[in-house]
Amino acid sequence: MNKQNNLLLALALFLGFFALSLSGFSQTAMQNIAGRNCINLNGQWPVIIDPTGTGNWRQVWKSNVPQNKTQFFEYSFDGGPKLNVPGDFNTQHPDLKFMEGTVWYQKKFNHLANESNRYFIHFGAVNYTADVYLNEKLLGGHEGGFTPFQFEITNDLIEGENILVVKVNNERHGDGLPGYGYDWMNYGGIIRDVNLVQTPTSYIDDYFIQLKKSIKNEVEGWVKINGQKANQKVEVVIPELKINYSTQSNSDGFAKVEFKGKFDRWSPTNPKLYEVIVQSETDTIRDEIGFRNIDVEGAKITLNGEPIFLKGINIHEEMPLRAAKAYTETDALVLLTWAKELGCNLVRLAHYPHNEYMVKMAEKMGIMVWDELPIYQHIQFSTPGVEEKMDLMLREMIKRDRNRAGVVIWSLSNETYQHTANRDSALVRITKKCRDLDNTRLITHVINSQGYNNNTFNVWEHLYQHCDVISLNEYIGWYVPWQGKPSETKWKFDCTDKPVIISEFGGEALYGSNYGPSDEAAWWTEEFQEQIYIKQTEMFETVPNLCGLCPWLLVDYRSLGRMHPVFQQGWNRKGLLSDKGQKKKAWYVMKKYYDRLDKK
Ligand code: GCB
C-alpha cells in the first residue's frame, strides 16, 4: 500500500469509528422472540472474507455497481462464497478454519411497508462483535458473542429490496468477555437465528411472570410496554388456571403484576408448563411458563420446599458429531438426551449463555439449567468499559431467560483471579445488580482457589458472602494430586453455612486409548480417568454441605490449546463421551453414582 492509501485507510477507520459512535449501539432484545410476528432471515448469506480488515476502507456495505465502462469496485458479495446463517464460520469454509478476524455477511430481503407497525432486526447472537448496516446506513454495533440484541429499523426500511450487511469479527480482546485466554473453540460468525420482527407501535417488550421468592401460590412480576401509548390496560391470562388478571401500566409503560393461583409446580419429575397470555390494548404475546420455588434453606438447596441434590453435568455449546457450534433444536435434543441418560437433573451451560433452544428444551425435559456469563479467568476488571460490558451482558442474559422456570442458577463468573485489580468490587457489584434484576434464583460465582496440606483442602473466597451457593472447581486426581485416601479428605471452607456444589472435576481420556500403562496420566487412558471418578465418588462423602455435582464434562470438545499430537489434536478430552458419542469407562462410574443417589 502506498502512502496515499495509508492515509485513506486511517481516515476511513476514523470515520468508521466516528460513524459508530454517532449511530450508537444495539438495544437489549425484546423478550420471547419465538412468540412474535417474525420473518426468519436464516439461510445462505453471501460473504466477503476479510482477514486484512480492508473492508472498512473499501466500504463494502455500499452496494456499488459500475456506472460507466471505466469504473470498477474491488469487492462484491455476488459470485463469492456463501455461509449458512446461523452457524459458525470456521467450519464452513477452508479459508476460515482458524480465522479470528472479519467476515462481512450480506442479506437481501423484500419489505412491504405498513405504517401501523414497527420493525426490528433481531440477532440471537453474533460472536464476537457485530456492526450492522441497513441500506448502506450504519445502525450500530454490538459486543458480546452469546446474547441477543436488536436494532429498530422502522424508519430505515424501504419499500421493495433492502440490503443488510453485517461485519462480524471474532478477534479476542484483552478487555473482552471472555478476554484473551479461554479453553474452548472461538467459533466466529452469526451463530444464532436472525429475524425481522414486526410489532405494533406500542408493544410488550418485556415481562416477568414467576413465583414470588419462596412463595408457592403467588406470582410477583411486571410487564413493560415500549411505545407512545405507555399507559394501557394490561392483562395476564392463564387459561388452564382460569386466571385473568388485569392491571394498568404507568406513564413509563410499566405495570406491576401480582396474583395468586394454585400452581402445579415445575420440577424435574413434573416439568409442567402453562400457556400464559400477556396482553395490552395494543399487543398480545403468548408464552409457556413454569412456576417453581428454588431456595436455600440452611445449607441445603430446596426445590418447591424439598431438599434436592443437583445431579449436574457441564456442557459446551458444541455439536461434537459435526465438530461445530451447536445452534439447532436437534443439537439441543442430542446433548440433553445424553445428559438425561447419565441421570442428570441439571445442566451447567458453561461458560456463556447457550442458545435459547437449549434452555427451553432442558426445561421441557425436566432438566434444571445453570446459566453463566463469560466472565472467565483472565478478565481485566480495572480496564475502563469492562464493568459496563459485564452489566449489559447480565441484563441481556436475564432478559432472555427470566421466565424460564428451568433456570435455577445465575452463575456470574468462573475462575477469575483473586489478585486482579478491581476484581472483588466488580464481582460484588454485579452480584447485587443480578439480585436487583431477579431475586428468585440462586446466584453463584465459580472458584478454584484452594490450598492443601495434610489431605486438607482450604477454600477461601470473599465473594461467597454475597452468593447463595459456593461453587468449587477441584480436579483432584488430575491437576491436583491426591493428598491421601480420598475417603479421608478434609475440607476447610472460610464460609461454612452455605450449600456447596463441586462445579468441575475430572480428567482426560482418549476413547479406546491403550497405548501405555493405565496408571500414568500421560497416556490418556480411559482407566486413568475412570480411577479419578471412582476416587472422587469416595471423596464426595467428605465435602461438607455438598448439594450438587457437575463433572467436567459431558462430551469431548474442541479447544485449540490442547496440543498433544496423539491424544488431544485440538480437543479437550475430559468428556465422559468421546467426540463420536462413545461412552468412556468413567461414564458408567458417574451414572452408577447418580442412580444410587436416586435410590437413597
Ligand atoms: C477449568 C475451566 C474449564 C476448563 C477445565 C479444563 O477449570 O473452568 O473451562 O476447560 O478447567 O479442562 O482444564
| Whether pLDDT at 18 is above 60 | no
| Whether pLDDT at 16 is above 60 | no
* Measured CA distances, 583 to 40, 216, 530, 587 (Å): 37, 40, 12, 6
Q: Which residue has the cell 452408577?
A: 592
pLDDT tens string 390-402: 999 999 999 999 9
Run of H or E residues at 87: none
Among 14-18, 115-119, 360-364, 563-567, the minimum mean pLDDT is found in 14-18
Q: What average pLDDT does range 131-149 have in this prediction?
A: 98
Q: Is 414 in the pocket of ligand 1 (CB under 6 A)?
A: yes
Q: Are 203 and 282 in contact (CB under 8 A)?
A: yes
What's the 3-state SS for 407-435? Answer: EEEEEEEECCCCCCCCHHHHHHHHHHHHH
* 193 Cα to the center of ligand 1, angstroms: 28
* 223 Cα to the center of ligand 1, angstroms: 39
In whole angstroms, give the CA distance from residue 413 to residue 100. Answer: 24
| Whether pLDDT at 12 is above 80 | no
Question: Does residue 182 come out as left (phi exceeding 0), alpha (psi in the -120 to 50 range) or beta?
Answer: beta
Run of H or E residues at 190: strand 189-190
Three-class DSSP category at 3: helix
Q: What average pLDDT does range 283-301 have in this prediction?
A: 98
CA geometry: angle 566, 570, 574, nearest 5 deg: 85
Q: What average pLDDT does range 168-196 have in this prediction?
A: 98
pLDDT tens string 529-588: 999 999 999 999 999 999 999 999 999 999 999 999 999 999 999 999 999 999 999 999
Q: Is 416 in the pocket of ligand 1 (CB under 6 A)?
A: no
Looking at residue 23, its pLDDT comes to 53
Q: Is 218 in the pocket of ligand 1 (CB under 6 A)?
A: no
Q: Is 508 in the pocket of ligand 1 (CB under 6 A)?
A: no
What's the 3-state SS for 510-575? Answer: CCCCCCCCCCCHHHCCHHHHHHHHHHHHHHHHHCCCEEEECCCCCECEECCCCCCCCCCCCEECCC
In whole angstroms, give the CA distance from residue 409 to residue 140. Answer: 32
Q: What average pLDDT does range 102-110 have in this prediction?
A: 98
* 182 Cα to the center of ligand 1, angstroms: 9
Domains 212-291 and 296-507+546-555+586-599 share a fold: no
Q: Is 450 in the pocket of ligand 1 (CB under 6 A)?
A: no
User: What single DSSP character describes residue 25?
Assistant: B
C-beta neighbour count of 485 within 10 angstroms: 12
17-65+73-200, superfamily in CATH? Galactose-binding domain-like (2.60.120.260)
In whole angstroms, give the CA distance from residue 101 to residue 53. Answer: 8
| Whether pLDDT at 115 is above 90 | no
* 414 Cα to the center of ligand 1, angstroms: 9
pLDDT tens string 22-42: 456 789 999 999 999 999 999
* Measured CA distances, 446 to 417, 526, 537 (Å): 11, 27, 21
* 102 Cα to the center of ligand 1, angstroms: 28
Q: Is 183 in the pocket of ligand 1 (CB under 6 A)?
A: yes
Domain ranges of the chain: 17-65+73-200, 212-291, 296-507+546-555+586-599
Atom of ligand 1 nearest to the CA of 183: 10
Q: Closest Cα partner for 147 from 402, 395, 444?
A: 395
Q: Are 221 and 208 in contact (CB under 8 A)?
A: yes
Q: Whose CA is nearest to atom 13 of ligand 1?
A: 183
Atom of ligand 1 nearest to the CA of 479: 13
| Whether pLDDT at 6 is above 80 | no
| Whether pLDDT at 229 is above 90 | yes
Q: Is 572 in the pocket of ligand 1 (CB under 6 A)?
A: yes
Share of the chain above pLDDT 90, in %: 93
Looking at residue 600, its pLDDT comes to 78
* Measured CA distances, 64 to 79, 157, 201 (Å): 15, 19, 34
Q: Is 489 in the pocket of ligand 1 (CB under 6 A)?
A: no
Atom of ligand 1 nearest to the CA of 414: 8
Q: Is 170 in the pocket of ligand 1 (CB under 6 A)?
A: no
Three-class DSSP category at 272: coil
In whole angstroms, give the CA distance from residue 142 to residue 149. Answer: 7
Domain 212-291 has CATH 3.30.70.1450: no
* 183 Cα to the center of ligand 1, angstroms: 7
Dihedral sign for Cα 333, 338, 340, 344, please. negative
Q: Whose CA is nearest to atom 3 of ligand 1?
A: 183
Q: Is 574 in the pocket of ligand 1 (CB under 6 A)?
A: yes
Q: Whose CA is nearest to atom 9 of ligand 1?
A: 183
| Whether pLDDT at 382 is above 50 | yes
In whole angstroms, give the CA distance from residue 433 to residue 345. Answer: 28
Q: Whose CA is nearest to atom 10 of ligand 1?
A: 183
* 324 Cα to the center of ligand 1, angstroms: 19
Give the cell for residue 192: 444464532
Atom of ligand 1 nearest to the CA of 574: 12
Q: Is 143 in the pocket of ligand 1 (CB under 6 A)?
A: no
* 39 Cα to the center of ligand 1, angstroms: 39
Q: Whose CA is nearest to atom 7 of ligand 1?
A: 473
Average pLDDT of every residue of the chain = 95
* 555 Cα to the center of ligand 1, angstroms: 13
What fold is seen in the domain 296-507+546-555+586-599? TIM Barrel (3.20.20)
264 phi and psi, to 5 degrees?
A: -85, 105
Pocket test for ligand 1, best of 552, 563, 564, 567 (most atoms within 8 A of CB): 552
In whole angstroms, give the CA distance from residue 37 to residue 527. Answer: 53
Q: What is the maximum span of the chain, computed from C-alpha positions, in angstroms?
A: 84
Paired residues of 256 in beta bridges: 222
* Measured CA distances, 197 to 35, 111, 235, 340, 577 (Å): 10, 12, 23, 34, 39
Among 108-117, 202-211, 280-289, the minimum mean pLDDT is found in 108-117
Q: Is 552 in the pocket of ligand 1 (CB under 6 A)?
A: yes
Among 114-118, 187-191, 235-239, 508-512, the minimum mean pLDDT is found in 114-118
Q: Is 473 in the pocket of ligand 1 (CB under 6 A)?
A: yes
| Whether pLDDT at 275 is above 90 | yes
Paired residues of 376 in beta bridges: 414
Q: Is 415 in the pocket of ligand 1 (CB under 6 A)?
A: yes
CA geometry: angle 136, 137, 143, nearest 5 deg: 115
Pocket test for ligand 1, best of 411, 473, 557, 568 (most atoms within 8 A of CB): 473
Q: What average pLDDT does range 262-283 have in this prediction?
A: 98
| Whether pLDDT at 20 is above 50 | no
Paired residues of 213 in beta bridges: none
* 321 Cα to the center of ligand 1, angstroms: 21
Question: Model confidence at 21, in pLDDT bands (50, 70, 90)?
Answer: very low
Looking at residue 511, its pLDDT comes to 98
Atom of ligand 1 nearest to the CA of 351: 9
